[in-house]
Structure formats: C-alpha cells, structure tokens
Structure 1
C-alpha cells in the first residue's frame, strides 16, 4: 500500500513538472516584427488535451500552434504591406515568415 501511494505522489509531481515546461507565458521564440507586428503569442490553454492556444484556437501540439502563430504574423504583415504606407513589402513579410518558422 505504501508503494502505490508513493508512486501516485511521484507520478503527480512528474506530470506537474512536465506541464510546467509548456506553461510559459509565450512559447513563441521568434521576436522579429516588421512594422511592429509581432508573432501571435503561443500560450497555455489550460486544457490538457489541447494544451496550446493561439488567439483562442487550441492545438494538441506545440509545432502546430507555432505554425499558426507565424501564419498570423505573416497575414497581418502582408495586410499592412498591401495597404501601403509602410517601409516593407509582402516579400519582406514572406522572408520574415520563413525566419519565424525556422526559429521554432
């Protein structure tokens, strides 16, 4: 009986510590931001089955969430470039998206 109680405690501690690795405020490592447009934060959703969140959309794995974050940054950047009045082009936004994806 003692062994199973110790096992449960250790398993709970291990799960809590593993979850803490992914519970950072923002899992998006890319910091580039043409025109001040940063990649959307990738946050902890609080849902163990879909633990990553980007603007309210949840994901089962970090890679998918990071890709969505880079995609959203690209879309906002391209929209700004296409609207004009900025010192960068949509091609610059595409280059930034490539860098964002590579950073993750």
Structure 2
C-alpha cells in the first residue's frame, strides 16, 4: 500500500509540473503572417520573475519589448531570404510584413 501512495503522489506532482511547463511555453506573439514560411519568433515565459519574457534566449522586462524583438527577428530572417534570392518576395514585402507584425502587437 505504501508504494501505491508514493506512486500517486509522484504522478500528481508530475502532472502538475507538466501543466506549469505547458503554460510557461504559451506563445504571446499573436502575429501569424509568415512570408516564405518565416514566422515571427515565439515570445514565451522565461521563468524569471524579473525578466519574464523570452525571445530566442534573450529575456525582457516587458512584453512589448519582447514582441518588438520577435517582429525584428522575423524581418531580419525574411530580408535575408529576399536578399539572397531564395524567395519570391522582396525586402520591401518583408518591411510591409514587419509593419503588420508591429501593429498586431
């Protein structure tokens, strides 16, 4: 019986931790435009109460700054693809998309 009790407690803790991890990884970036399949970088919870927003390993104090970085990173990747000739869109199209990304946030 003692083994069963320990198992139930461990299973409960594991389920709780899984919910916390899932909630922490929710993406705050609502912009869904993606020229050439290049999406805006996800904005997730860093787990640090002082710098709670994270974009590709960089942390931010406020969500607005993190969302701005997300849009900037999407623009850079998009423009790199356009300038390399690897896409059927121009860097001007990428700038238009960045404007839309910024406006969505």
State TM-score, norm by structure 2: 0.76
In the other structure, the counterpart of 1:12 is none
1:37-86: per-residue Cα shift (whole Å, max 9, x none)? Answer: 00000000000000000000000000000000000000000000000031
Aligned-pair distance for 1:32? 0.1
Aligned-pair distance for 1:87? 1.0
1:15-45: per-residue Cα shift (whole Å, max 9, x none)? Answer: xxxxxxx946100000000000000000000
SS at match of 1:40: coil
In the other structure, the counterpart of 2:77 is 76
State TM-score, norm by structure 1: 0.77
In the other structure, the counterpart of 2:11 is none
Indicate the RMSD between aligned Cα atoms, in angstroms: 1.2
| Runs of 4 or more consecutive aligned structure 1 residues displaced over 3 Å after TM superposition | none
Alignment of 1:21-36 (within 5 A): 23=24, 25-36=26-37
Aligned residues: 83
Alignment gaps of 5+ in structure 2? 1-22
Alignment of 1:28-47 (within 5 A): 28-47=29-48
